[in-house]
Amino acid sequence: MKILMVCLGNICRSPLAEGILQSKLPEGYTVDSAGTIDMHQGQAPDHRSIKVADQFGLDISKQQSRPFTAEDFDVYDRIYCMDRSNLEDVLKLARNEEDRRKVELILPDAEVPDPYWGEHADFEDVYKLLDDASKKIAAELLQS
C-alpha cells in the first residue's frame, strides 16, 4: 500500500503528515509527500516542521520537496490533501474516475491550516491535527 500526502509547497504540512503516518504503519506501507507547486523542489522541510517533528521523536529532515504529478495516480493507492485548494489542484490532474477515487481530504470535515506564516505553536497545532488524522487512517488501513 502506497500513500501520498499533499500540501501546497511540500515543506510544512505534508512532510509532517508523511513522517507521522509512516511511524504508525508497519513494513509494507509506504508514505510519501508532494506539493501542488514546485517552488521548493529539492528542498528539505521547513526548519520549524523539522523541529516540531523532532519534539515528537520523528526525523523528517532528509525528506525533499517535489511537485505532485499526474503520474502519482499510477503509483499511489491513496492520496490525502491538507486543504480544499490542494484537493482541487490534485483533482485537476486526475485523468479518470479511478484517479479521483484515490483522493480525499486528510480531515474529512476540516482543513489543516498552513502554518508557514505562523509561529512555533501553529506548527505544534498542525502536528496534533495530523497525528489524530494519522491514527484514524492507520487504524482503518490495518483493519482492512
Residue 7 annotated among the catalytic residues of the structure: yes
pLDDT tens per residue across span 74-112 = 999 999 999 999 999 999 999 999 999 999 999 999 999
74 belongs to the catalytic site: no
What pLDDT digit, counting tens, does each position of 13-46 carry? 999 999 999 999 999 999 999 999 999 999 999 9
CB-CB contact of 63 with 15 (8 Å): yes
The residues, ordered by sequence, that sit 6+ positions from 30 with a Cβ below 8 Å of its Cβ are 1, 2, 3, 22
Catalytic residue among 54, 74, 114, 122: 114
32 is catalytic: no
CATH of the domain at 64: 3.40.50.2300
- Catalytic residue, from 12, 13, 32, 46: name it: 13
**CB-based burial of residue 51 (10 Å sphere; 0-12 exposed, 13-18 middle, 19+ buried)?**
middle
Structural domains in the chain (count) = 1
Question: Domain limits at 34?
Answer: 2-143
DSSP secondary structure, 41-94, as one string? TTPPPPHHHHHHHHHTT---TT----B--TTHHHH-SEEEESSHHHHHHHHHT-
Task: Give the Cα separation of 136 and 35 in Å (integer).
Answer: 23
User: Of 7, 32, 46, 81, which is the active-site residue?
Assistant: 7
